Structure 1
Amino acid sequence: MTEHFNLPKNLTQMNKKLAVSLLTLLFTVNFPLLGWAETVLEKVNRTGVLTAGVRTDAVPFGYTDKNNALQGYSVDLIKLIQQRLEKQLNKPIKLDLKTVTLKNRFTQIETGQLDIVCEATSITPEREETVDFSIPYFTSGIQLLVREADAERLDPTKASETQLETIQENNITVGFLLGTTTDDEFRPIYPEAKWQVVGSRADGIRRLRSEEIDLIASDGILLLGELWEQGEDFKAFRLVPEQPLTFENYGCILPQNSAQWGTLVNQTITSQENTQLWNQWFDPKTGRFPYQRFQSKAKP
């Protein structure tokens, strides 16, 4: 004889609720994973939009002109990447340019809010732990912008060990920006100096001109860029030492695990079109920002 077991009604209802809960959990877990697995190229192909970040305080890589329009070599590089994307995907791609800051440029990439950031970001092993970088498209380095009258006194390559040892908080004040390699790598070289945070390079130059600080430590080309942007007299200042104290390779910030996207960006950087673009900006004779000429102006 076969026995029939009748489950209590409330137990059957409980099982149904449990099944619904499990399905809900599966959908909750799987859907974000599926979205996260979408590559940058797949996302751009699906949406038809490339979302990119640039800075407005990194002359000549990213800044706003008198008409409040974004300008700079990195801005034009992103537009070149957009053009190559359109060719590869064989469809129009809208470029959505957003501005980033020193504080949020990495998190914007890490959280997927931006597909790429191109400005004046140095490639470092520490930063590569959370984001990827393109190949370098520019090399600069940390230099010190000083008033011309103080150039010999504050050039670390011309000072003796005894003179360097006498640097104290009460006789030298260094302006610097938080969240930069100057803050991370260069600041420990002069631990005895008084380090003062400046809100921007423009703010630093204003303080330097009014003798509130003795020098600004930052990438040489960005210091020259700010002098150019502010219409300052180059001869009133000098970059010391003549050769940068560090070497900084700039690259575009990319999401991790985005090999195909990185390949397209790198191919753009090494392209003939980018060589022409680079010369349009930096050629010593014909460039919009002939930084080598500007650097020579900031010498005696």
Structure 2
Amino acid sequence: MNQKLAIPLLSLILSVGFTGYAAAETVLEQIERTGVLRAGVRTDAVPFSYLNDNGEIEGYSVDLIRLIHGRLEEKLNQPIRLEMTTVTLQDRFEQVQKGNLDLVCEATSITAERENGVDFSTPFFVTGIQMLVKTENRDRLDPTQLSETDISTVSLERVTIGFLESTTADSELRPVYPEAQWEAVPSRAEGIRRLQAGELQGIVSDGILLLGQLWKDGSDRQNFQLVPSQPLTFENYGCILPMNSREWSRVVNSTIASPENTTLWNQWFDTNQGRFPYRKFE
């Protein structure tokens, strides 16, 4: 072979080889190489991840990320810097798909459709879709207590129901009141404000998140009710992970299944001593 051609050819082969190696790097290998764990949280998912009165991020899933971080350092036997980034309902999946984040833990329901683009951890919480109404309207708007005639009458009264876009709640409960007026709201906080003002007759979301927002706002729980009393759906929350990240998934899943996480879960949700007492759905 001509020596002048051999050197460029060798360089090309090495270049392609290193490119293929870099492309094959797993999430865990990248974390080990960079020494950084990139995690996403939301600021409006009380009690999972939210801003407290001091403007600091806190919540159960924030603590869960820190627990995952600690176990990751033990596994890799090296210090890892934890970088937490704010995500939104609209970009949380995209940030993981594009490789900008290694995981997102907040209040994301696991669905078959979503699993086409990302992987999920094992579930760490179970809740369900409900509608928050004023206590005075509980019987009038509880879908499990209404006949078809009642629902028709309610619809004629132009009930307006708030919902958050990019969530499963809208599509699941909308068919129950097909003739009601449905309005997108930017946040649960804004939806509850409009409910208190009489601009909405209900706001639809996962029950735990509606109660969480009331708790954070300091609202009188007696003035509101969740209907129906048992959720219409069961929503499993999981952390969002990059697809085909098996080793990384095992680290996250083993943390969720660990005794340390059971202790953490009880610190937040135990019905007697938790910061946010909540009855588990069985």
Say whether the fold is shared (TM-score over 0.5). yes
Stretch deviating more after TM superposition (61-70 or 217-226): 61-70
1:292 Cα deviation from its structure 2 partner: 4.1
1:126 to 113, 122, 128: 113
Whether 1:57 and 2:44 are equivalent positions in the alignment is yes
Whether 1:72 and 2:25 are equivalent positions in the alignment is no
Counterpart in 2 of 1:290? 277
Whether 1:116 and 2:103 are equivalent positions in the alignment is yes
Query: 1:127-166 alignment to 2 at 5 Å?
Result: 127-166=114-153
Whether 1:209 and 2:196 are equivalent positions in the alignment is yes
Match of 1:225, SS state, is: helix
Counterpart in 2 of 1:261? 248
- Rounded to whole Å, the distance in 1 between the matches of 2:68 and 2:112 is 25
Do 1:167 and 1:192's aligned partners in 2 also have CA atoms closer than 8 Å? no
Q: Rate the CA distance shift 1:25–1:279 in 2: closer, same or farther, 3 A.
A: same
Q: Rate the CA distance shift 1:26–1:211 in 2: closer, same or farther, 3 A.
A: farther
Q: Rate the CA distance shift 1:158–1:93 in 2: closer, same or farther, 3 A.
A: same
- Rounded to whole Å, the distance in 2 between the matches of 1:281 and 1:161 is 40
1:266 Cα deviation from its structure 2 partner: 0.6
1:187 Cα deviation from its structure 2 partner: 2.3
Do 1:169 and 1:194's aligned partners in 2 also have CA atoms closer than 8 Å? no
1:114 Cα deviation from its structure 2 partner: 0.2
1:163 Cα deviation from its structure 2 partner: 1.0
Whether 1:233 and 2:220 are equivalent positions in the alignment is yes
Provide the TM-score with structure 1 as the length reference. Answer: 0.87
Match of 2:192, SS state, is: helix
In structure 2, give the amino acid aligned to 1:288.
R
Q: Which runs of 5+ in 1 are unaligned?
A: 1-15, 294-300
Do 2:267 and 2:274's aligned partners in 1 also have CA atoms closer than 8 Å? yes
- Rounded to whole Å, the distance in 2 between the matches of 1:113 and 1:32 is 19
Match of 2:155, SS state, is: coil
- Rounded to whole Å, the distance in 1 between the matches of 2:19 and 2:48 is 35
1:34 Cα deviation from its structure 2 partner: 3.9
Whether 1:101 and 2:76 are equivalent positions in the alignment is no
Stretch deviating more after TM superposition (188-197 or 259-268): 188-197
- Between structure 1 and structure 2, the one with the greater Rg is 1
1:26 Cα deviation from its structure 2 partner: 9.5
Do 2:105 and 2:240's aligned partners in 1 also have CA atoms closer than 8 Å? yes
- Rounded to whole Å, the distance in 1 between the matches of 2:12 and 2:186 is 48
Q: Rate the CA distance shift 1:173–1:25 in 2: closer, same or farther, 3 A.
A: farther
* Equivalenced residues, count: 277
Instruction: Detail structure 1 runs of 4+ shifted over 3 Å in the superposition.
Output: 23-27, 29-36
In structure 1, give the amino acid aligned to 2:206.
D
1:30 Cα deviation from its structure 2 partner: 6.8
In structure 1, give the amino acid aligned to 2:57.
L
2:265 to 278, 284, 298: 278
1:20 Cα deviation from its structure 2 partner: 7.3
1:112 Cα deviation from its structure 2 partner: 0.4
1:162 Cα deviation from its structure 2 partner: 1.3
Do 1:170 and 1:194's aligned partners in 2 also have CA atoms closer than 8 Å? no
- Rounded to whole Å, the distance in 2 between the matches of 1:59 and 1:205 is 14
- Rounded to whole Å, the distance in 1 between the matches of 2:240 and 2:8 is 42
Provide the TM-score with structure 2 as the length reference. Answer: 0.92
2:233 to 228, 246, 270: 246
The alignment-based identity, stated in percent, is: 59
Match of 1:195, SS state, is: strand
Do 2:155 and 2:177's aligned partners in 1 also have CA atoms closer than 8 Å? no
CA-to-partner distance for each residue in 1:64-112, whole Å, 9 max, x for gaps? 1111111000000000000110010001111100010000000000000
CA-to-partner distance for each residue in 1:20-68, whole Å, 9 max, x for gaps? 79x87995x7766543321111011001110000111000000011111
Counterpart in 1 of 2:175? 188
